Amino acid sequence: MSILIILVLAAPVNCNALRVEKNCNGRVAVLVDSSWDYSHGWSETDYVGIVRELTSALEYLGYGYDLVDEKTPQQELERYAILMAVTGSQGERILSYGKGTGRPVVVFYSLGAELAAALDILPGDFVLDKEEERPLELKKESPLTAGLMSHHSAIPWWGAYEHRFGKEAEVLLSTPNGLPVLVEQRGTAGHYIFF
């Protein structure tokens, strides 16, 4: 999965997301939940593994990042050039960043009820695909998917959420069963990339 994270991260970051503007520190904020609620089925090791892969990909790409959590003041959070959320429990903060800055928000791992409702997304369960050798399907070319399928014949993956996205969202990459893997949504609430 880490190669897919690197490829997905390279696109939004290279699309001038990190250009420094007034009140922007030019770094990536990786939003985590310091009191992760494991009741939804993801174990602590899975959660820590996703955070580790994400930060390793950022280091590999040479981008400065900071781990931030619910204790980080909103004004400080909004100074970051891009927000990468690895938590679903801070929907109001994520929405405030997206609306307030107009900068990209990448949502990994978990989509909380508050964020889903505000962005017209019907959350679904995670579906483990036992036939992960099958290639992912490119649904739409975009800067996020440019060259993704032509340069990499096989991208490891293990499943996807059964989320149903609203009319503002575009599924860019899906499983052979049609489950969304990479989705981009632009609208009045901001620019979001779901992975």
pLDDT in tens, 79-136: 999 999 988 788 999 999 999 998 889 998 678 889 999 999 999 888 877 765 667 7
Look up the domain containing 108 and give its range.
Answer: 2-194
Q: How many domains would you assign to the chain?
A: 1
pTM of the model: 0.81
CA distance 115 to 59: 28
**Domain containing residue 131: CATH number:** 3.40.50.880
**Angle, nearest 10°, between helix axes 44-61 and 2-12?**
50
- The radius of gyration of the chain's CA atoms, rounded to the nearest angstrom, is 16
Strand partners, 164: 122
Looking at residue 170, what is its pLDDT? 93
CA distance 118 to 124: 16
CA distance 148 to 181: 13
pLDDT in tens, 148-176: 666 655 566 677 888 999 898 999 888 88
For residues 35 and 63, the model is more confident at 63
